[in-house]
A and B are shown apart, each in its own frame.
Chain A
Amino acid sequence: MSPLLLAQVALTLFVFVMLLSSAAVMVYVERKVAALLQQRLGPYLVGPKGLLQPIADVVKLMFKEELRPRAADALLFTLAPIISATAAFAAFAVVPFGAETTFFGLLDERVRLQVADVNVAVLVIFAIASMSVYGIVLAGWSANSKYSLLGGLRSSAQMISYELSYGLALATVLLVGNSLSLTDLVNRQAGTWLGFIPRWFIFVQPLGFFIYMTAGIAETNRAPFDFPEAEQELVAGYHTEYSSMSFAMFFLAEYINMVTVSAVATDLFLGGWHGPLLPESLGWIWFLIKVAALLFFYVWMRWTLPRYRYDQLMAFGWKVLLPLAVINLLVTAAGVLYFGL
């Protein structure tokens, strides 16, 4: 096995493990930040400062009984969480998280810090996001339960509605960056204007960033758009009938989707691994910092804003966000065409 291939395999494994552990970290962060915002302590008994709480959670889930309603469609009921988790992992494959590196001279050639370098990466992310709807729809349908079905329908309607704005926000960035490859797009954000403003696309496309983040929160079914699992109305939504590890897989998928949306936002709008002070080879530290900030924002939103009503969500998506995204796209296209932004 050539060292290059070995490095690629190691990188893939590394990303996989990091995504898994990021879900665990997010569970802890979510609970701690929630506690902070509500002036509670949060988990503090398991391990120092409650740091081992996620592990305790997972162990507990593992030892729970795997239940399946008798009237459920066995095949699809089993398949649904797998689809969700797979789609969540797959989307991150095309996200670059650092500059090319030789791993401190270990390799002869330079390797991109990315699982798969696809030149239509932005579209791949969009495609996989559209596939993840199936996990939730099928989970809702196959469980043969009212709450599940309503949750699944809500979720898929929500995801389809916000996917449009999400895609249009991505398209505007493509126009500005004139590329479909995430690596190219990140590299176009290197350097500064006037010596101190970083050339991040968020400064060119503030509206695009707003639309992207809003649609991203809706896509990942997070508060204030967490209708699929609105406990007060739907018990638990599409995963009402799930228990044990298949339930855990939906949560894994949700947290990994959050990480992916934040990572893509970092690459598209926040300059990826470019930042001051650190050398290019340590750019992944900047990447991590930016992603962590966005994830904190996610959690912060959840515990600050109340859930909207469902009709408000739909009205906002179709009557506000989508027109905004279209106008933003048109204005950006005109700007690129006539002024060469």
Chain B
Amino acid sequence: MIPFYVFAFIAVVASLLVIAQRNPIYSVLLLIASFGALSGLYVLLDAPFVAVIQIIVYAGAIMVLFLFVVMLLNAPHEETEYDEQTHPLLRRGPMRFGASLALALGVELCWALARGGESRAFAPGSVDAVAAIGRSLFTTYAFPFEVTSILILVAMLGAVVLARRGPFDSPLILSAPKDERLAQDRPFDSPLILSASKDERLAQDRPFDSPLILSASKDERLAQDRPIDRDGGAPALPGER
């Protein structure tokens, strides 16, 4: 019984901490910890196959992608005063949304528990269980299985659409005012953003600053990037011409 409580405690606490974190990276890691604890619970239920699949699919594959997305997309930080002073959990919008979700989950849990009944479990802990899972997945549950995969595809498309900022992003960037441009498109400097103040960040780190070059005056450009200059053999400084 003690292992059950240990795993259950880790799972619950880690899940709670997931939504209490400000740094999305920590949220992702805590979710992994929670999945690990769930996997431990599966082992206690004598279902090692499900436990390992939980680790491979959720903790391994899916969360690595989450981590990538969080690291690369660099989720914007809310900077209004209200957001700064109020903990994310205590804000109005998230409160209502979270409350309705929690309510739905609670109702579902009660319904599932009240329903009870015999669980049609596979013979635990044998390789036959793996074969049985596979067989029922591709015969009895073939339709739900395929529908789930389409659901995942839809979610992927949704993520791609959400992540893109408008259909033709790069031309827009060139015409936008300078500050916007700077704020918009800096894929690689996520760790810096977390530490430095905004101005410092802008000054510090623009690995892809070609848009800036395009918008600068011609002389500046020439000074910056002289190989383009085809006027003479030796690269000329702007003042010399």
A248: interface (CB < 8 Å): no
Question: What residues of B have a CB within 8 angstroms of the CB of A238 in the complex?
Answer: none
A-B CB proximity, top 9 nearest: A130-B60, A144-B191, A127-B55, A123-B52, A127-B56, A71-B195, A120-B48, A127-B52, A120-B52
A141 touches B191 (CB 8 A): yes
Pairwise interchain contact A134-B130, C-beta atoms closer than 8 A:
no
Tell me if B130 and A126 are in contact (CB < 8 A).
Answer: no
A124 at interface, CB cutoff 8 A: yes
Alpha-carbon separation in the docked complex, A142 to B29 (Å): 13
Contact A130/B48 with A119-B127, A144-B191 known, Cβ cut-off 8 Å: no
Known: A76-B25, A124-B52, A141-B191. Contact between A156 and B126, CB under 8 A?
no
* Given the contacts A119-B127, A127-B60, A156-B64, A71 and B192 also touching, CB distance less than 8 Å: yes
Given contacts A71-B192, A130-B64, A156-B64, whether A123 and B32 have CB atoms under 8 Å apart is: no
A73 within 8 A of partner (CB): yes
Distance between Cα atoms of A29 and B57 in the complex (Å): 36
Beyond A71-B192, A130-B59, A144-B191, 4 additional contacts (C-beta under 8 Å) are A123-B53, A126-B52, A134-B32, A180-B49
- State the Cβ distance, B23 to closest chain A Cβ, in Å: 8
Could you tell me if B188 and A146 are in contact, using CB atoms closer than 8 angstroms?
A: yes
A158 vs B126: C-alpha distance when bound (angstroms)? 34
Contact residues in B for A133 (Cβ distance below 8 Å)? 60, 64
Decide yes or no whether A179 CB sits under 8 A from chain B: yes
**Please, which residues of chain A bring their CB within 8 A of the CB of B192?**
71, 144
Q: How large is the interface on B (under 10, 10 to 19, 20 to 34, 35 or more residues)?
A: 20 to 34
A73 touches B191 (CB 8 A): yes
For the complex, give the distance between the alpha carbons of A71 and B204 in Å.
14
Is B49 in contact with A131, judged by CB distance below 8 angstroms?
Answer: no
29 of the cross-chain contacts (CB-CB < 8 Å) are A71-B191, A73-B25, A73-B194, A119-B126, A120-B48, A120-B130, A123-B52, A123-B53, A126-B52, A127-B52, A127-B56, A127-B59, A130-B55, A130-B59, A131-B55, A133-B60, A133-B64, A134-B32, A141-B191, A144-B195, A146-B188, A149-B188, A149-B191, A153-B71, A156-B64, A156-B68, A179-B127, A180-B49, A180-B130
Residues of A near any B CB (own CB < 8 A): 71, 73, 76, 118-120, 123-124, 126-127, 130-131, 133-134, 137-138, 141-146, 149-150, 153, 156, 160, 179-181
Report whether over half of chain A's contact residues are helix, strand or loop; otherwise say mixed. helix
With A76-B25, A123-B49, A133-B64 as known contacts, state yes or no: A181 contacts B56, CB within 8 Å: no
Closest Cβ of chain B to A218, distance in Å, is: 16
Residues of chain B from 1 to 53 with CB closer than 8 A to chain A in the complex: 25, 29, 32, 48-49, 52-53
Contact call B55/A119, Cβ cutoff below 8 A: no
State the Cβ distance, B207 to closest chain A Cβ, in Å.
8
* Most B CB within 10 A of own CB, among A76, A120, A134, A180: A120
- Using a CB–CB cutoff of 8 Å, the interface residues on chain B facing chain A are 25, 29, 32, 48-49, 52-53, 55-56, 59-61, 64, 67-68, 71-72, 125-127, 130, 188, 190-192, 194-195
With both beta carbons as reference points, the residue of chain A lying nearest to B192 in the complex is identified as A144
CB neighbours (8 Å) of B127 from chain A are: 119-120, 179-181
Residues of B within 8 A of A120 (CB): 48-49, 52, 127, 130
Complex CA gap A124/B130 in Å reads: 14
Give the residues in chain B near A71, CB-CB below 8 Å: 191-192, 195
* Given contacts A144-B191, A149-B188, A130 and B49 within 8 Å (CB-CB): no
| A130 to B64 CA separation, bound complex (whole angstroms) | 9
Chain A positions within 8 Å of B48 at CB level:
118-120
Closest A residue to B49 using CB positions: A120
- Complex interface: chain A residues within 8 A of B71 (CB): 137, 141, 153
Question: Shortest Cβ distance from B64 into chain A, in angstroms?
Answer: 6
User: How far in angstroms is the closest Cβ of chain A from B56?
Assistant: 5
Q: How many Å from the CB of B137 to the closest CB on chain A?
A: 15
Minimum distance in angstroms from B73 CB to a CB of chain A: 13
Q: Which A residues touch B194, using CB under 8 A?
A: 73
**What A residues does B55 contact at CB under 8 A?**
127, 130-131
Chain B residues near A127: list those with CB within 8 A: 52, 55-56, 59-60
Give the chain B neighbours of A180 by CB distance below 8 A: 49, 127, 130
Distance, CA A180 to CA B52, complexed state (A): 12
The answer to whether A141 touches B64, judged by C-beta atoms less than 8 angstroms apart, is no
Residue in contact with B56 in the complex, picked from A118, A126, A160, CB distance below 8 Å: A126
> What residues on B are CB-neighbors of A153 within 8 Å?
68, 71-72
Q: Give the complex CA separation of A66 and B32 in angstroms.
A: 28
